[in-house]
Amino acid sequence: MKQENIRNFCIIAHIDHGKSTLADRILELTGAIDKRELKSQMLDSMDLERERGITIKLNAVQLSYKCNNDLYQLNLIDTPGHVDFSYEVSRSLAACEGAILVVDAAQGVEAQTLANLYLALDNNLTVIPVINKIDLPSAEPERVITELENIGFNKEDIVLTSAKTGQGVEELLKKIIEVIPSPKGDRKNKLKALIFDSIFDSYRGVITSIRVVDGEVHVGDIIKMMETNASYDVVGLSINNPKEQEVKVLHAGEVGYLYASIKSISDVHVGDTITLEKDPAEESLPGYKPMKPTVYCGLYPIESNKFEDLRESLEKLKLNDAALTFEPETSKALGFGFRCGFLGLHHMEIVEDRIEREFGIDLIATSPSVVYEVELTDKTKIMVDSPTKMPKRELISKTYEPYVKCSIFTPSEYIGPLMELCQDKRGTFLNIDYIDTERVTINYELPLSEIVYDFFDRLKSSTKGYASFDYEVIGYKESNLVKMDILLNGEIVDALSVIVHKDFAYKRGRVVVEKLKEIIPRQLFEVPIQAAIGMHVIARETVRALRKDVLAKCYGGDITRKKKLLEKQKKGKKKMKQIGSVKVQQEAFLSILSTKE
Ligand SMILES: Nc1nc2c(ncn2[C@@H]2O[C@H](COP(=O)(O)OP(=O)(O)OP(=O)(O)O)[C@@H](O)[C@H]2O)c(=O)[nH]1
Ligand SMILES: [Mg+2]
């Protein structure tokens, strides 16, 4: 294929605005897939994506399209819309020259529409604005056109489509050919190929998704990874159209898969540049900025002998989810596991789910926490991403926590409940923007830890799911934070410790203590359950002891005899309490850790 006839583009949008459905129509129109074989959201190939109806992973396909009697190669990348997977979007953008920005004709411009648009502009991409779902009765294309004009687009450039009926899709394809530039690289230059994604395959080893920027790569070439210095023989190259199809060569401008029997996972870094060993490029491509996790939690295998398996699965998963971070951690209550970092709560949920499904390891996750900053009395500052790393209270002089600026897009009838929720979560009101008479954006500053706790559930329930929510971390603010421990029979259960704002510690403590009381089975001795800050107990419940009726056989008889029996029982229990320890079932942990008020 002539390089001038190649178009690389991705589809970006806010969640659910119809990217994957639009990709279906493009697959259909270009004849890549027979109408009868087409499932909806064809490119959402993971089970998890299909069940949840959302895209989690970027997905690249190569299509051929005949336009003005010329054949074109279209490399399309479908991306996720949810904010937690924006790393997938930014990696896709770096492999493209153009982006299709899809906006729902009924919803209009939303938080991720703007965020993704700015990402595309930062990467110098040509952006084609598309208003989708014009078939909906509630569609208001005129209003959305004005919104798009307000963010800098021209009315003439906007394409109106319905990914459901196919209306406007042909026009969109013509526009893509017309306005998106062909790739710039040079086939004669030394090979430079960007690894923008990867996956582990048990037969072929690591398969990388590459965008060839300069030069060309053939099956049989010896390649070198510029960052990790590893070299390998190229065993195979292929494209996805959307069935995998082997090819012999990938040229500058093209997108495809490369595999080279790579078994050692650490040799492959997403963002690295592939070049030829015998004739290497001088400079590597800029690659990607690593993402900083915003939410952490501990992941432990339920079966403790699965620790090494868990390590391996995290490594393999990281190939396919470059935003995931992890390091080993131990807990007295849960054994060996990993402290993992995620881009958000949804990301966390998906990772847990993928480990259980794809690798068959059952997990326990500790409560999510954010990264706190602690200034010690000797003026040094440390970052604390886990309650177990919190220094003793005497050593701390100040504590800081991350704050976010959040914008909630909502129908105006929910302003009241939403403001109440934000106040409740220690929020500071910033302002309300009236988009039109029915929709507003409420802006608040909130501690990230409050969002991590149970914000989403409450947001959903107080707005019947109509509000959409976006946040960006704005930095650290001083805050009165304490570590709250949970003690069972006087012993700290490390997996249940949390860092909380002092004013909220009592409330959080009560919830956990009451919940624990419900699930801990009665023992032969009395078990106190306490929530404590340092030595100071702030909440307590007691699981009463099982009691054998020692007086059962003592008919009538003398009162002193009864007293003696009871006294003996009491002594026995006291002794038992000293030596007895409380075994907490794993299920009990699970139910506590998923505590939702
Ligand atoms: N009526 C109508 N519904 C549409 C249209 N396009 C998409 N939908 C529906 O909108 C919902 C979301 O579509 P998707 O294609 O999964 O949206 P997406 O942008 O890929 O979502 P994420 O990848 O999760 O961000 C689905 O129920 C689609 O059937 C359209 O043009 N008209
Ligand atoms: Mg999608």
Six token digits for residue 527: 């078990």
Higher-scoring residue by pLDDT: 392, 10: 10
Please tell me the least confidently modeled range out of 119-128, 300-309, 467-476, 544-553: 544-553
Cα 89 to Cα 83: distance, rounded to the nearest angstrom: 9
Average pLDDT over residues 556-561: 75
Cα 103 to Cα 133: distance, rounded to the nearest angstrom: 9
Residue 576 in this model has a pLDDT that exceeds 60? no
| Residue 283, φ and ψ in degrees, nearest 5 | -115, 145
Question: In angstroms, what is the span from residue 40 Cα to ligand 1's centroid?
Answer: 9
Element (H, E) at 193: strand 192-201
Contacts for 287 with CB less than 8 Å, ≥ 6 apart: 194, 227, 271, 272, 273
From residue 167, give the alpha-carbon distance in Å to each of 35, 57, 63, 404.
16, 27, 20, 40
Cα 499 to Cα 383: distance, rounded to the nearest angstrom: 13
CB distance 19 to 81 below 8 Å: yes
- Angle at CA of residue 425, ends 419 and 429, nearest 5°: 45
Question: In angstroms, what is the span from residue 463 Cα to ligand 2's centroid?
Answer: 24
Name the residue among 340, 343, 368, 452 with its Cα closest to residue 403: 452
Q: Which of 11, 12, 14, 16 to mutate to test the pocket of ligand 1 (most atoms within 8 A of CB)?
A: 16
Q: Three-state DSSP class for 2?
A: coil
Point out the ligand 1 atom lying closest to the alpha carbon of residue 134. 31
Residue 173 in this model has a pLDDT that exceeds 80? yes
CB distance 594 to 348 below 8 Å: no
Confidence (pLDDT) at 544: 81
Cα 151 to Cα 153: distance, rounded to the nearest angstrom: 6
Confidence (pLDDT) at 584: 63
Nearest listed ligand to the Cα of residue 131:
1
Cα 201 to Cα 204: distance, rounded to the nearest angstrom: 5
Which residues are paired to 91 by β-bridges?
none
With cut-offs at 50, 70 and 90, classify the pLDDT of residue 573.
low
Name the residue among 220, 163, 191, 117 with its Cα closest to residue 17: 163
Please report, rounded to a whole number, the percentage of residues in the chain having pLDDT higher than 70: 94
Cα 371 to Cα 343: distance, rounded to the nearest angstrom: 12
Average pLDDT over residues 406-418: 90
Q: Which of 10, 21, 50 to mutate to test the pocket of ligand 1 (most atoms within 8 A of CB)?
A: 21
Confidence (pLDDT) at 594: 57
| Residue 101, φ and ψ in degrees, nearest 5 | -95, 110
* 3-state percent helix, strand, coil for the chain, nearest multiple of 5: 30, 35, 35
Residue 430 in this model has a pLDDT that exceeds 80? yes
Radius of gyration over alpha carbons of the chain, in Å?
29
Q: Which of 10, 12, 20 to mutate to test the pocket of ligand 1 (most atoms within 8 A of CB)?
A: 20
Average pLDDT over residues 133-138: 95
Average pLDDT over residues 327-343: 89
CB distance 134 to 162 below 8 Å: yes
Six token digits for residue 452: 């991590």
Q: What is the pLDDT of residues 191-248, one digit of tens each?
A: 999 999 999 998 999 999 999 999 999 999 999 999 999 999 999 999 998 889 999 9
Cα 143 to Cα 155: distance, rounded to the nearest angstrom: 12
Average pLDDT over residues 386-406: 90
Residue 575 in this model has a pLDDT that exceeds 70? no
Confidence (pLDDT) at 585: 62
Nearest listed ligand to the Cα of residue 82:
1
CB distance 451 to 409 below 8 Å: no
With cut-offs at 50, 70 and 90, classify the pLDDT of residue 597.
very low
Confidence (pLDDT) at 574: 66
Average pLDDT over residues 266-277: 94
Closest-CA residue, ligand 1 atom 12, reads 16
CB distance 581 to 529 below 8 Å: no
Average pLDDT over residues 46-63: 91
Residue 68 in this model has a pLDDT that exceeds 60? yes
Evaluate the omega torsion of the peptide bond into residue 447 and state whether it is cis, within 30 degrees of 0: no
Stated pTM of the model: 0.80
Cα 11 to Cα 161: distance, rounded to the nearest angstrom: 14
Closest-CA residue, ligand 1 atom 8, reads 18
How is 427-489 classified by DSSP, letter by letter?
Answer: -EEEEEEESSSSEEEEEEEEEHHHIIIIIHHHHHHHHTT--EEEEEEEEEEE--EEEEEEEET
176 burial type by CB count under 10 A (0-12 exposed, 13-18 middle, 19+ buried): buried
Nearest listed ligand to the Cα of residue 40:
1
Please report, rounded to a whole number, the percentage of residues in the chain having pLDDT higher than 90: 59
Would you mind telling me the total number of residues written for the chain in this entry?
597
Confidence (pLDDT) at 589: 65
Q: What is the pLDDT of residues 11-33, one digit of tens each?
A: 999 999 999 999 999 999 998 88
What residue type is assigned to position 393 of the chain? Answer: R
How is 61-129 classified by DSSP, letter by letter?
Answer: EEEEEEETTEEEEEEEEE---SGGGHHHHHHHHTT-SEEEEEEETTT-S-HHHHHHHHHHHHTT-EEEE
Instruction: Output the ligand 1 site: residues, CB below 6 A.
Output: 13, 15-21, 41, 53-55, 80-81, 132-133, 135-136, 162-164
- The pLDDT mean for the chain works out to 89
Average pLDDT over residues 116-145: 95
Average pLDDT over residues 542-568: 75
Closest-CA residue, ligand 1 atom 23, reads 55
Average pLDDT over residues 337-360: 92
Point out the ligand 1 atom lying closest to the alpha carbon of residue 163. 31
Closest-CA residue, ligand 1 atom 7, reads 18
Q: What is the pLDDT of residues 475-507, one digit of tens each?
A: 899 999 999 998 888 888 888 888 999 988 898
473 burial type by CB count under 10 A (0-12 exposed, 13-18 middle, 19+ buried): middle
The 8 Å CB, 24+ separation contacts for 543-550 are 543/517, 545/573, 546/522
Residue 75 in this model has a pLDDT that exceeds 90? yes
Residue 596 in this model has a pLDDT that exceeds 50? no
